[in-house]
Amino acid sequence: MSAILDALKRQEEERRRGQAATESAAERLLTQRPKPQRTGLGAGLATALGVLIIGGLTFALLTANDSAAPQSAPGVIAPDVPTPADPSTPTFDAALAPTAAPLATIVDRWRVSAHIYGELKDDRALWINGRPYGEGDEIDGLTLEAITAEGYRVRRGEERLTRRITPP
């Protein structure tokens, strides 16, 4: 019987030692303070590098559409079209006057940089040559009749022309 009592006493002592070890580990974890974040040259360089990369990508995306010129087919000579000094100032060419030129000729000179479609009329916009236009606005003698989810429609008198916008 004393062997059983001795075994029970040893088991109780081991349990107490294990509980004390667990409590001390928990106490150590609770009393530890979080390590302060390192600040200095490394963190500053990482931040600066991130800003430069994001800025460079943004610049590249914004200028990609402006620099992409349409390619003409081999053997075809594209006419020289003078570029205005100020893009917001429309150019006037007597040969391409709005009343004389076909709608497609006028619309082909436009640089559409943004097409925004919304369910409500006030949520729709078309950016042409750097300026925003809405439905009903006049551009180069044409009326922007509708901005649709697929593109836009212009009108001059009874003539109408619909253009699709393809995403870049």
The span from the CA of 152 to the CA of 70, in Å, is: 21
- Asked if residue 146 has pLDDT above 70, the reply is yes
pLDDT, tens digit, 9 for 90 and up, residues 2-27: 788 788 888 888 887 776 655 566 66
Would 47 be classed as within a structural domain?
Answer: no
CA angle 142, 67, 117 (to 5 degrees): 45
Sheet holding 131-133, edge to edge: 112-116, 125-128, 131-133
pLDDT, tens digit, 9 for 90 and up, residues 100-133: 789 999 999 999 999 999 999 999 999 999 999 9
Where does residue 159 rank: exposed (0-12), middle (13-18), buried (19+ CB within 10 A)? exposed
Which band of pLDDT confidence, cut at 50, 70 and 90, is reported for residue 69?
very low
Would 45 be classed as within a structural domain?
Answer: no
Rounded to two decimals, the pTM is: 0.43
Greatest mean pLDDT range, 29-38, 76-85, 95-104, 148-157: 148-157
Would 157 be classed as within a structural domain?
Answer: yes
Residue 108, pLDDT score? 94
Sign of CA dihedral 51, 57, 60, 63: negative
Would 103 be classed as within a structural domain?
Answer: yes
Residue 137, pLDDT score? 96
For the chain, how many structural domains are there in total?
Answer: 1
Residue 150, pLDDT score? 94
- Asked if residue 80 has pLDDT above 80, the reply is no
Q: Give the structural domain span for 99.
A: 94-164
